[in-house]
Each structure stands twice: as structure tokens, then as C-alpha cells.
Amino acid sequence: MLAVVGACSIVILPDEASAARFECAEILTAPGSNCAAFVVEVPPGASDLKSVQVCAAIMVAAPQPPLLIVTTLSSMHLLPAVARAQRAARQLICGYVLIDAGKGAPGADPSGESWPDAPVFLIAGIGDAAARSHAKLRGWQVFDAEATTEIAFLLGQLALELAP
């Protein structure tokens, strides 16, 4: 799949709790769309190696940089490893999007020296005050969306706006 010049490639990380990511990718890559979206898959199994498997799957998918990395709050612990791997591969990340899939506020903050290395955005369900509050305290921009079509629209807009 070819990315349109001027847009970030959207890379959707795995999350067993969110089946909507496939639907979102279908919307983003529908005929007439100007987005390139990649759903990253890893085989079920050793969860302690999941970050390594995710990084390898991104390399196999070979999305064109810059990348917009998308995941749910429950899988945000993978982001520091993804950031390090993309930096090592000299792949520019233009942003991270966290989608609140009904899990509420993130538990552990993975922020550190290697993450975040790009702007972070939260797409939260209406009325999810806890996730919204945590995101704002971290300086992340928050968007309201619940339906998959709304989320796909926001991702497409961010992919266009964040491209260098």
C-alpha cells in the first residue's frame, strides 16, 4: 500500500480487547481515501516478548515514514520500545494516538528518556473524566469520539496535520 505524499502512515498496534481497529483501518484505506493504515499483528503467546514482536511486525509491514502510532490505553506500555526501535531504524514518528477503549485512565506512565518523542493525543469516550484528566496533566491534546467512524476521521486528520 502506498502512502500519499504529505500524510503520515498510520500504524495501529495490537490490542486483543479492541476489534474496532480492523474496522478503523478499513475506513482509513477505503477507495478515495488519502491514508495508508497498517494493522500490526503478533501471534498470541509470550506476553513478555510482545514489545519485541510488535517492533518486528512493524518492520515487516514497512510503512513509509513519518509514522503515526496508534494504540489503546491498555497497550500504551509498548510505546517506549516501539519508539526506540523506530529511532534505531531511522523512522520518523510524527505522533502517538491513544484510544480509550473503555479502560479508563492509564495506570503506569511509560514516559521517560525514550518516550514520548513526539506529540501525544488521546481519543476518549464522552464522559471519561479520568482518562481525560490524566492526559491533560501530561500536556496531551484530548479529542472526543466514541464511534469507529469518528475515530477513523480523527486519525486521518492527524495523519495529514502532523506530516512534516
pLDDT tens column, 71-108: 888 788 889 999 999 999 999 999 999 887 665 555 56
Mean pLDDT score, 59-79: 88
| Boundaries of every domain in the chain | 9-162
Which residue in 15, 5, 63, 69 sits closest to 41, CA to CA? 15
Cβ neighbours around 107 below 10 Å, total: 11
pLDDT by residue (tens digit) across 128-159? 677 788 888 888 999 988 888 888 889 889 99
Global pTM value: 0.85
Residue 72 to residues 1, 33, 84, 107, Cα–Cα distance (Å): 24, 23, 19, 12
Quickly name the fold that domain 9-162 has.
Rossmann fold (3.40.50)
- The gap between the terminal CA atoms of the chain, to the nearest Å, is 20
Pick from 51-60, 104-113, 119-128: least confident: 104-113
